[in-house]
Structure 1
Amino acid sequence: MTGVITASEPSWIAPFSGLSPRAFGKLVTVLRRAGADSVRKGRPWSLPLEDRILLVTAYWRTNLTMRQLTPPFGISKSAADRIIDHLGPMFALQPRKRFAKDAVLIVDGTLVPTQDHTIAERSKNYRYSTNHQVVIDADTRLVVVVGRPLAGNRNDCNAWEESGAKAAVGNTTTIADGGYPGTGLVIPHRRQCGQTELPGWKEEHNKSHKQVRARVEHVFARMKTWKILRDCRLKGDGVHHAMLGIARMHNLARGDS
């Protein structure tokens, strides 16, 4: 079979990866340095590295089934499965280990509908989902930490610690919404028992807090343009690999804008 979609033609890159050709080239360079194109035993890859990377990003970007996705690349379904299983984990965003003293982070949880019910539970969106704690830098809006996925019925307050996001952030100032009481995070002011309204200065603080915290919602909206995060068919660690890989591509796209 002969493929139609190829990374050697720049016009295919943006629609099927969500990255500009320049950012896509950076991703290829990073993955090649990580050993993605190293010689392996057995059957050689049916596509060059650039096309294999484009296949993975196209799968995450479009959420097409393998039977729909593979003919334009000119490979079989089994070959595509092997490529995604091999390369997908290599896309993973590495959590930042150090933060500036004056850094401000924002955390929130997002639900990813997931068809593997062994790792998902019914959640407030009435679908079997996984809860992902995502931390961004409030200034650059880059993703800095993605916690391990938990069942979608875990509330954010518990998922913050259980996912490993809390340990990754350490003592860095982090703001969150009202769903994180008792966590030590900076959350909006709440009315005390018997209070009918908050003092004016607290209302102003909450307004400012909401405007800044909205940045993480904007990041979620951009990440979910990779449609696999709207209905993930991957099993086991597949949803985690996709989330980490898409976080890395979001950062590349943002840095290139």
Structure 2
Amino acid sequence: MIDRMTPLVAGLLEPPGGSRLDLWVVDGTLIPVEDQSQTKCSKNYRRSVNVQFTFRVRDRRVIAVGDAWTGNRNDIFVFRETMATQVNDHRLLIGDGAYRSAPEVITSKVKSK
């Protein structure tokens, strides 16, 4: 098992290949954890941490993962502090409405009536 899995895991740790034209997606998730020294109550009333991640759409490969922050922090704040420098030179980075104030992330424009 170790002989078979070691090359696969090592391949995941290599820098991702591809071009700047690949579409990447950034998103954050709240992960519930038991260790209350690293957490605060979040919007779902659970003790959790906010982790930001970026993946390439073509093959769903994870490109970058940010450090865990307390779950009561907004996605844009955690993104700026943990991942903005990792993905700042990529041209096609999309995210949801939580990233509207990040110039490096393309978000949908909502028109109000």
Q: Same fold (TM over 0.5)?
A: yes
Partner of 1:159: 78
Aligned pair in 2 of structure 1 residues 104, 29: CA closer, same or farther (>3 Å)? Answer: closer
Could you tell me the percent identity over the aligned residues? 29
SS of equivalent residue, structure 2 residue 6: helix
Correspondence 1:133 to 2:111: no
Code of the residue aligned with 1:179 in structure 2: it is A
> Which one has a larger percent helix, Structure 1 or Structure 2?
1
Correspondence 1:169 to 2:87: yes
- The answer to whether the 8 A contact 1:95-1:145 is kept is no
Instruction: Give 2:107's match in structure 1, choosing from 159, 176, 187.
Output: 187
Instruction: Give 2:27's match in structure 1, choosing from 108, 126, 132.
Output: 108
1-side partners of 2:30 and 2:49: how far apart?
6
Deviations 1:29-69 (A, max 9, x none): 467xx8xxxxxxxxxxxxxxxxxxxxxxxxxxxxxxxxxxx
Alignment of 1:1-257 (within 5 A): 25-29=3-7, 94=13, 96=15, 99-163=18-82, 165-172=83-90, 173-184=92-103, 185-191=105-111, 195-196=112-113
Q: 1:126 deviation in Å?
A: 1.0
Q: CA RMSD in A?
A: 2.3
- The answer to whether the 8 A contact 1:124-1:153 is kept is yes
Code of the residue aligned with 2:74 in structure 1: it is N
For structure 2, list consecutive stretches of 5 or more residues without a partner in the other structure. Answer: none
Code of the residue aligned with 2:64 in structure 1: it is V
Give 4+ residue runs of structure 1 displaced > 4 Å after superposition: none
Looking at CA atoms only, which structure, 1 or 2, has the larger radius of gyration?
Answer: 1
- The answer to whether the 8 A contact 1:114-1:130 is kept is yes
Q: Output the TM-score relative to the length of structure 1.
A: 0.39
Deviations 1:116-136 (A, max 9, x none): 112111112210100010111
- The answer to whether the 8 A contact 1:114-1:120 is kept is yes
- For this pair of structures, how many residues does the alignment match? 110
Q: 1:141 deviation in Å?
A: 0.9
